[in-house]
Structure 1
């Protein structure tokens, strides 16, 4: 059985910076359609205290999700020894396809993966392309699928991309819109006969009973827009927080145990950046499960303060930043054990353990 390593990582961080103060003139409404009884500066200060988000990145008006994905893919190839024509699969994790600025409609045909192949100029017909819709954990699930395909002999090189333009599908009258951002990250998973390091284990779960509606699509909170047929991201923040706190640490622990490792063996946990306080609480819960004293800041890098929640793009983007030495105080070196973990709409949770060769 071949081993699976990462050979090339790249990202696309949009240039447009949107700071919290840029929302001061927005019209925010509550779920019941009523305006908030306090000023926007109060809303924004409370938002920043809870989420840790100070600014986020948005794609340019004429940039589609597939455009960001293609940039990240090109950067991953530039950092890899894999030729683009030797890719067996291109997998794009996304949730809303391509959305232009003229409508709220989602375009997922052809698949974003096929569009990326086209933009990369890949001629090989055996490079198969498909998309994954798996909520925020989509990139990790794609990485798990890529690793499994390689280990069973179905592929030798698989590119997995996470890309999203969430700024185009949020309700600008919902204060939760300040959480979401745009971006893309990509990694190439490759077969190797070297038994050192690589993909070690994974754990996944889906809870779709009461949890199904924790993240879903719904009309605008602004009453005169609610009946126009457009739908936007809607979330039950408290419910998601409670669900994640109970279940994500357990999934990470399961993946670590499957790899025959202990928490002391883990050098970094790259967790989906959804909410700073929630992520810290998840890591504290993980330490508690092992009975260890916490060292959250060293184990868990954070990018949410400047990049916001870019969903499926978060983890590969963070990995790229660390490998390029652009995330202060964090490095990943040969021999390190790294956990990728995420939670999102579905509700889905997954975790993957990887050792750097």
Structure 2
């Protein structure tokens, strides 16, 4: 059985770091209020001349360097984003050009904060089917461009950044001991659109719009759905929860992460956390966390990782992989 094995990781964060205190003279909020409710202490904002593709290109180059590869080794680029540079062309094609890749194909995936999980599932399927040997999978966002700066319930949560991984086809034995992606689980339910959405778009207002969220309801759905999708993916992989070495969750809110880990019976020592320094970077949050943790030497060959996320749609899902 062909498996999609992680060969490299990389990430990029814009230079501008915005501490919680930055919001104090703009909103009725405080550093303590933000930290105690979200676990966020700071986030990064893209410069005025930086686009989502710029962040993605930087993360892609870092992943190629980490893998010891060049653009010539890559067959496809898949970018998960909800904040593209343009309506079209895709961010992925701009990343393709930015890294000097003149072959293969590139496309975007849009599932908001769950986008990277959906992108991984697509990349895994293409590798299993033999359509590609090596795929660059990226999550990149500039959510600072769609914030309503008068809404303290949303604007303090999000940041900008990009993360990338390189998947390569490797022949496995078709057992749970194989390295690579072992199982994926994807879900969506459009009846919950009003809980988390952007109030603009090409076919509606002709504007980018601003992010709107019913935070309390999203929280309740997130905890239940994230734990359920993780357990389902583990069942598909044939792995028990106690065999999980690392949970790499969407970095939206520390309280959601803690509640999900508790439902999975995982101690926080087994959870990768970057939310304090990055905030919620939507589709970029899981690849950012993977890259940061990998650069710190946390992951060892053979360890089992579970990545899970939920975003607007609602859309949610998880991936189980062996490092």
- Does the alignment reach a TM-score above 0.5? yes
Residue 282 of structure 2, aligned match among 281, 305, 311:
311
| 8 A Cα contact 1:6 1:189, kept in partner | yes
Q: Which moved more, 1:269-278 or 1:188-197?
A: 188-197
Give the structure 2 partner of residue 69 of structure 1: 56
Residue number in structure 1 paired with 2:224: 246
1:114 maps to 2:96? no
Shift of 1:108: 2.8
Whether 2:107 is the aligned partner of 1:143: answer no
1:201 aligns with 2:168: no
The number of residues matched between the two structures is: 314
Q: Quote how far apart the aligned CAs of 1:154 are.
A: 1.1
Please give the alpha-carbon distance, in whole angstroms, between the structure 1 residues aligned to 2:228 and 2:208: 37
Please, what is the CA RMSD of the aligned residues?
A: 1.7
In structure 2, the partner of 1:223 is: none
Q: Distance in 2 between matches of 1:157 and 1:352?
A: 18
CA change 1:22–1:86 in 2 (3 A) is same
The 5 A counterparts of 1:87-106 are 87-98=74-85
Cα offsets for 1:190-235 (capped at 9, x unmatched): 11125431110011110111x111111238xxxxxxx996620111
Please state whether the residue corresponding to 1:40 is helix, strand or coil. Answer: coil
Question: How far has the Cα of 1:45 moved from its partner?
Answer: 2.7
Match of 2:294 among 313, 320, 323: 323
Q: Structure 2: which 5+ runs fail to align?
A: none
Q: Counterpart in 1 of 2:199?
A: 218
The aligned counterpart of 1:59 is 46
Question: 1:137: Cα distance to partner?
Answer: 0.9
1:350, distance to aligned residue in structure 2 (A): 0.5
Shift of 1:96: 1.7
TM alignment of 1:8-87, pairs within 5 A: 8-26=8-26, 28=27, 39-41=28-30, 44-87=31-74
Once residues 229 and 12 of structure 1 are traced to their aligned partners in structure 2, the CA distance between those partners, rounded to angstroms, is 27
- The structural deviation recorded for 1:187 is 0.7
Q: What's the CA shift for 1:15?
A: 1.5
Tell me if structure 2 keeps the 8 A contact 1:267–1:337.
yes
Give the direction of change, closer, same or farther, for the CA distance of 1:229–1:114 in structure 2 (3 Å limit).
closer
Structure with max Cα Rg: 1
Greater than 3 Å deviation, 4+ residue runs: 227-230
Query: How far did 1:168 drift?
Result: 1.2
